[in-house]
């Protein structure tokens, strides 16, 4: 992509309404624009990151055997009356009347709808286990939307729903999602710690929140530092095998959000040097809620003995849009964002340090052509800004690799490669740059 042809409305100043670094940097880096309280337009740079995060979530759901579908954002109120949550959900629910005065709502989550879909088709335990998921926009009329995409009103969520014949089966589905979440967040360069959590409006008695440590996080957390060094299962993990050793390993080290924290146990179990009380960002939450929805909504299957029983369910959410902010909170410095390569909007940025100089322009064009031909996502800063402004912009938007092309270096057949994550620099020939990044 040539920057002269892209749409990247970088802000010079810090927007005053931004209270936390991710909100500030997303606005300054031209990644998004607020259209209403808690409602954002995703501009091209931010949208590229959102799609990369979404794709990692999708790949790990698919690897765990979940099946992707897409449910609508609008739902019938009567569906929620069946489960009894229409009134219980309260003011966070956006209630809508259509032209025929039919009562609809903008979905804050989809347990009712997926249960309705399931019960319409599945009648036998032989079709279980089943895990259906989608990646869809949600609306929750938060009292105080704030911190940019961290606590929005319209936000993108991956929500998966599992269906099993009994609790044992449902726990196996739960464990698959637990492992998939460990892999998902690690692939984004995050350490997201699974912590026992309250179940809240979703219900049930078993839930884990996946929390990324960050001083600006809304959740207070208490952990044994050992949890930060536990191994994340590899891509060859056997989802049809016994996952309980992995779950046991990750749940036997103390990690709890403040609402389920047990101070006495923490002091007793965790040596002082390993105790960490900090804050974190909830990037995902998983729930086992048994027959909470299948009872009220009659989602029954015939068991092996032919007798109809309500299925045992679980739901598993990831804050896809929240993750854009969470990754910035975890990966930034004073100059701006430091994207992990897996989610970066572009892999490399070419900075032409002397626009108009034939040798420099030629070398940049050749690098741009060769890297693009090898499938490397490149942003070529071909604007006529001064070099200093180009450096600042590249640091701000956080592209992992910067290729600095100037007349002096070129005279020796070299360009400078800067790694954004640690600031390390290397001089090499353009051909070596292509070999390194392709």
Q: In 3D, which of 126, 9, 29, 17 has the Cα closest to residue 327?
A: 29
How far apart (Å, rounded) are the C-alpha atoms in residues 345 and 365? 20
> Judged by CB under 6 A, which stretch of 2-10, 187-195, 310-318, 386-394 contacts ligand 5CA?
310-318
Closest-CB residue for ligand 5CA? 319
Is 338 a binding residue for ligand 5CA by CB under 6 A? The answer is no
Is 157 a binding residue for ligand 5CA by CB under 6 A? The answer is yes
> Judged by CB under 6 A, which stretch of 220-228, 314-322, 380-388, 410-418 contacts ligand 5CA?
314-322
Q: Are the C-beta atoms of 98 and 104 separated by less than 8 Å?
A: yes
Nearer to ligand 5CA, 197 or 349 (CB): 197
Is 142 a binding residue for ligand 5CA by CB under 6 A? The answer is yes
Helix (H, G, I), strand (E, B) or coil at 1: coil
Restricting to residues 274-303, which ones interact with ligand 5CA according to CB under 6 A? 282-285
Closest approach, Cβ 267 to ligand 5CA, in A, equals 29
How far apart (Å, rounded) are the C-alpha atoms in residues 189 and 206? 27
> Judged by CB under 6 A, which stretch of 73-81, 121-129, 243-251, 317-325 contacts ligand 5CA?
317-325
Nearer to ligand 5CA, 40 or 380 (CB): 40
Q: Which of 116, 159, 164, 395 binds ligand 5CA (CB under 6 A)?
A: 159
Is 140 a binding residue for ligand 5CA by CB under 6 A? The answer is yes
Closest approach, Cβ 38 to ligand 5CA, in A, equals 7
Nearer to ligand 5CA, 30 or 217 (CB): 217
Nearer to ligand 5CA, 140 or 261 (CB): 140
Is 202 a binding residue for ligand 5CA by CB under 6 A? The answer is yes
Q: Which of 233, 319, 406, 430 binds ligand 5CA (CB under 6 A)?
A: 319
Q: Are the C-beta atoms of 296 and 286 separated by less than 8 Å?
A: no
Nearer to ligand 5CA, 146 or 275 (CB): 146
Nearer to ligand 5CA, 115 or 315 (CB): 315
Nearer to ligand 5CA, 328 or 350 (CB): 328
Helix H or strand E encompassing 223: strand 219-224
Query: What are the residues whose beta carbons fall under 8 Å from the beta carbon of 393, sequence distance 6 or more?
Result: 10, 381, 385
Closest approach, Cβ 321 to ligand 5CA, in A, equals 6
Closest approach, Cβ 175 to ligand 5CA, in A, equals 16
* Per-residue buried b or exposed e for 292-319, using 16+ beta carbons within 10 Å of the residue's own CB: bbbebbebbbeeeeeeeebbbbbbbbbb
> Hey, what are 349's tokens?
């940025």
Q: Are the C-beta atoms of 135 and 57 separated by less than 8 Å?
A: yes
Q: Are the C-beta atoms of 312 and 133 separated by less than 8 Å?
A: no
Is 134 a binding residue for ligand 5CA by CB under 6 A? The answer is no
How far apart (Å, rounded) are the C-alpha atoms in residues 429 and 434? 9
Exposed / middle / buried, residue 271 (Cβ in 10 Å: 0-12, 13-18, 19+): exposed
Q: Which of 183, 322, 332, 414 binds ligand 5CA (CB under 6 A)?
A: 322
Return the axis-axis angle of helices 320-330 and 44-63, rounded to nearest 10°: 110
Q: Are the C-beta atoms of 404 and 418 separated by less than 8 Å?
A: yes
Is 152 a binding residue for ligand 5CA by CB under 6 A? The answer is yes
Query: What are the residues whose beta carbons fall under 8 Å from the beta carbon of 23, sequence distance 6 or more?
Result: 17, 147, 148, 149, 150, 325
Is 313 a binding residue for ligand 5CA by CB under 6 A? The answer is no
Nearer to ligand 5CA, 140 or 338 (CB): 140
Is 85 a binding residue for ligand 5CA by CB under 6 A? The answer is no
Closest approach, Cβ 325 to ligand 5CA, in A, equals 8
> Hey, what are 192's tokens?
């997201």
> Judged by CB under 6 A, which stretch of 18-26, 147-155, 242-250, 403-411 contacts ligand 5CA?
147-155
Q: In 3D, which of 343, 320, 342, 317 has the Cα closest to residue 177?
A: 317
Contacts to ligand 5CA by CB under 6 A: 109, 111, 140, 142, 151-152, 155, 157, 159, 202, 282-285, 315-317, 319, 321-322
């Amino acid at each position: 992509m040539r920057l002269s042809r892209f749409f990247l409305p970088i802000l010079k100043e810090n927007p005053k309404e931004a209270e936390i670094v991710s909100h500030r940097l997303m606005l300054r880096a031209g990644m998004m624009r607020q259209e209403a309280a808690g409602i954002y337009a995703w501009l091209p740079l931010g949208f590229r990151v959102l799609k990369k995060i979404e794709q990692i979530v999708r790949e790990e759901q698919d690897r765990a055997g979940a099946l992707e579908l897409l449910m609508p954002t609008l739902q019938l109120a009567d569906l929620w009356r069946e489960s009894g949550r229409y009134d219980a959900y309260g003011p966070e629910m956006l209630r809508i009347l259509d032209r025929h005065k039919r009562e609809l709502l903008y979905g804050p989550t989809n347990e009712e709808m997926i249960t309705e879909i399931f019960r319409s088709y599945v009648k036998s335990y032989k079709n279980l286990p089943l895990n259906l998921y989608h990646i869809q926009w949600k609306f929750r009329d938060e009292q105080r939307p704030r911190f940019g995409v961290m606590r929005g009103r319209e936000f993108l969520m991956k929500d998966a729903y599992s269906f099993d014949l009994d609790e044992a089966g449902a726990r196996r589905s739960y464990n698959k999602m637990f492992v998939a979440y460990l892999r998902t967040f690690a692939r984004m360069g995050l350490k997201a710690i699974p912590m026992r959590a309250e179940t809240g409006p979703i219900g049930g008695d078993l839930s884990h929140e996946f929390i990324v440590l960050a001083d600006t996080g809304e959740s207070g957390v208490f952990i044994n530092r050992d949890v930060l060094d536990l191994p994340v299962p590899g891509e060859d993990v056997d989802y049809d095998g016994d996952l309980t050793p992995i779950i046991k390993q990750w749940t036997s080290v103390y990690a709890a959000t403040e609402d389920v924290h047990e101070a006495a146990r923490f002091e007793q179990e965790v040596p002082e040097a390993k105790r960490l009380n900090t804050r974190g960002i909830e990037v995902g939450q998983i729930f086992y809620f048994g027959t909470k929805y299948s009872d009220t909504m009659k989602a029954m299957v015939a068991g092996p003995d032919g007798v109809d029983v309500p299925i045992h369910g679980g739901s598993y959410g990831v804050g896809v849009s929240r993750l854009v902010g969470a990754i910035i909170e975890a990966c930034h410095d004073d100059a701006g964002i430091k994207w992990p390569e897996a989610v970066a909007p572009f892999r490399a940025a070419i900075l032409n340090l002397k626009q108009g100089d034939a040798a420099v322009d030629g070398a940049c064009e050749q690098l741009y052509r060769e890297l693009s031909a090898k499938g490397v996502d490149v942003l070529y800063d071909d604007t006529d800004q001064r070099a200093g402004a180009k450096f600042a912009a590249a640091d701000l938007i956080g592209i992992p690799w910067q290729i600095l092309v100037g007349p002096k270096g070129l005279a020796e057949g070299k360009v400078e490669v800067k790694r954004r994550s640690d600031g390390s620099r290397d001089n090499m020939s353009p051909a070596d740059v292509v070999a390194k990044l392709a």
